[in-house]
Chains A and B, each alone.
Chain A
Amino acid sequence: MAIAEQPAAGRVARPRFSAGGVFRTVRHYGIIPGIPLFVLVTLIFVGAFAPLISPHEPNKQSLLDSNVAPAWTAEGTSNNLLGTDRFGRDQLTRIFYGARISLIVSFVTIAIGGAIGTLVGLTAGYFGGWLDSLLMRIVDVFLAFPGLLLAIVLATVFEPSFTIVILVASLLIWPRFARLVRGDTLGIKPNDFVTYARITGTPTPRILMKHIFPNVIPTLLVLCTWEVGAIILLESSLSFLGAGIPPPNPSWGTMVLDGRGQLEEGWWISLFPGLAIMTTVLSLNLLGDWMRDYLDPKLRHA
């Protein structure tokens, strides 16, 4: 940004990737975004390539190898680095595949819930009046939903499934997007560039998409980051309660549930998926916090 703001100054061409470049980047942005970003890139990599990098099959049971301790303990073997659960399934493999499930659920939910919420927020904020009041009251109603309860009810009525989890998460997430996007829209609308677009007779959908939406994107990025964390947590909670991703799919929540009954003899069964949940959500929250500050023009120029 600092370079871009001085168009007159001649820019020195420098190689794109170098140790010095990395050092400068870290010095410029600080260390905070690096660590969570690294965790998340690893997570996405692991999720995307789970079948290639996993040492075992995620759902292959082997009762002879049940409750094997992690490799570095006295009873552990190098065959199962993080040990096995009571069905003898490899923990590491299941954590890799669990990352995949978390990612799929959160991206689909963000795509559905985020899109609906953004659309509602843009509409309410731009048109205002009774439409705004109506839409925001609906948002209020949805925000008052007890999410876990809703999910458990739905999972009892229907069979627990991916669809139910995504549906519940989307229902819980869209009002938050709607509320935030509406607020931003209200702030952007009085700008003269929007007025100018209206004067020149620009069609309203184009005003929303070309003039308002691009200016909401920074806020949306921050919210998406936080919400992915919230969705992963929700999915894990639902799975832990038996209302989420149905077994034998290796959801992190289900894995914590599996180890719950045998914490004394097999502490690793619950611990590692639990750590995975915590690291992921913590990284997302930290990254979201950092992005919020970084994208805030008031703080950035200070």
Chain B
Amino acid sequence: MTPSNALVQLTDVQKHFPIHQGFIIRKETGAVKAVDGVTIAIERGKTFGLVGESGCGKTTMAKLILRIETPTAGTITFDGKDVHKLKGSELRAYRETVQVVFQDPYSSLNPRMRIKEIIEEPLRTDPKFTKEQRKARIEELLKVIGLRPGSATRYPHQFSGGQRQRIAIARALAPSPSFIVLDEPVSSLDVSIRAQLMNLLKDLQREFHLTFLLISHDLAGVRYLADTIGVMYLGKIVESGGSPAVYGKPLHPYTHALLSNAMPSHPNAPRTEVILTGEVPSPINIPTGCRFHPRCPKVMPHCSKIEPQLQEAEPGHWVACHLYGDTNGAPTPKETAHATATSTAAGNAR
């Protein structure tokens, strides 16, 4: 889980939003556990695809990396430095090195600013650029994303969704970042435009040696771009590994379900459909044991009692599920007797 060339490293990151109740005397009565102990490493020059249903904490992860939220626990390091302890010139450098492209290109561009002003935004705070250099950079970027130079003086409403998303990408590229968070960059676009945009992203990555964190709920779409996949469920990573491994041989029942519901590459391709029942449980009351057990088609009795830990099922392929390996969810001495009893029972049942 900790390759030496990790650019971004998240270590046991948690983000809990406290819930207050009461009118005058406000008490903390609980917490939304949006991110509940996530450890991932994003390799330099690669794309890390973070996949999960809506509400599983994907976007909160992005916000933590982008410093809009501070983690409740755990650390996020970028190039070995704790992101949330940066100050002064280091912080300014970080803000340029790390950029973001949002999901909705209608909400991410200020409707009252011209395109050139929008792209200039991240450069404004940089004393390295003179006014002329910024202007040259804007023209250069418009060329890179394939918009006419005359577009600079137009307003966002004069462009289509796909063009707007390109503008958002140009803005992200402006300060020459090394890491870009892509928060569902294509999911609000027409299917016909998606491939175009993903190709653009791929080209840009190669050309500028970019590292991507690609957040999406669409497992099939992520496949095209991501080198590494992390599957997230209710604030935790349940499976992670190289893209071929996760797609070729998904281990976690949740990944199975996500993949089986994705469009097949060929209509006649053999597939078994796994339809999950029930709703995603609330991140306020996370189920005991394995957080997926109420919806899991392969649930075993001890799943509701012991939380499985992420473990290396195959080299470089990690999964948090009791179905794999003996060491999984190794019971603490206190629970041993009970846990053994239940697991034997489960074994017999099968």
Contacts and interface: CB of A to CB of B under 8 A. Distances in A.
Contacts of B109: 193
Interface in B156-178: 157-159, 171
Contact of B102 (A5, A196, A211): A196
Main secondary structure of the interface of A (DSSP, over half): helix
B92 A192 contact: no
B68 A198 contact: yes
A78 interface: no
A193 B67 contact: no
A195 B110 contact: no
B337 to A, nearest CB: 51
Contacts of B171: 196
A145 to B, nearest CB: 28
Contact of A202 (B91, B111, B121): B121
Interface in B53-79: 66-68
Contact of B111 (A7, A197, A215): A215
Contacts of B125: 200-202
Interface residues of B, number: 28
B100 A215 contact: no
Contacts of A198: 68
Nearest to B96: A200
Interface string A178-215: 00000000000001110111111110000000110011
Given A192-B108, A215-B112, A199 B121 contact: no
Contact of B158 (A7, A197, A210): A7
A7 B154 contact: yes
A144 interface: no
A196 B158 contact: no
A177 to B, nearest CB: 19
A193 B68 contact: no
Interface in A72-120: none
A202 B113 CA distance: 15
Contact of A199 (B95, B103, B124, B151): B95
A19 interface: no
Nearest to B150: A7
B29 interface: no
B95 A192 contact: no
Question: Which of B91, B92, B109, B110 neighbours the largest number of chain A CB atoms within 10 Å of its CB?
Answer: B110
Contact of A211 (B92, B110, B159): B110
10 contacts: A5-B158, A192-B104, A192-B107, A192-B108, A195-B102, A196-B108, A200-B122, A200-B125, A210-B110, A217-B112
B21 to A, nearest CB: 17
Those 9 A-B pairs whose CB atoms lie nearest each other, nearest first: A192-B108, A214-B112, A192-B102, A193-B110, A192-B107, A191-B107, A200-B122, A201-B95, A199-B66
Nearest to A1: B157
Nearest to B95: A201
A296 to B, nearest CB: 14
B95 A200 contact: yes
Contacts of B108: 191-193, 196
Given A191-B107, A200-B95, 7 more contacts: A191-B108, A192-B102, A196-B102, A197-B121, A199-B66, A200-B122, A202-B121
Interface in B80-109: 91-92, 95, 100, 102-104, 107-109
A5 B157 CA distance: 7
A200 B121 contact: yes
A263 to B, nearest CB: 52
A4 interface: yes
Given A196-B102, A215-B111, A201 B121 contact: no
Contact of B68 (A5, A199, A215): A199
A211 B154 CA distance: 17
A7 B102 CA distance: 25
B303 to A, nearest CB: 38
A127 to B, nearest CB: 16
A215 B107 CA distance: 12
A217 B103 CA distance: 26
Contacts of B158: 4-5, 7
Contacts of B122: 200
A189 to B, nearest CB: 11
Interface in B287-335: none
Given A192-B107, A192-B108, A201 B68 contact: no
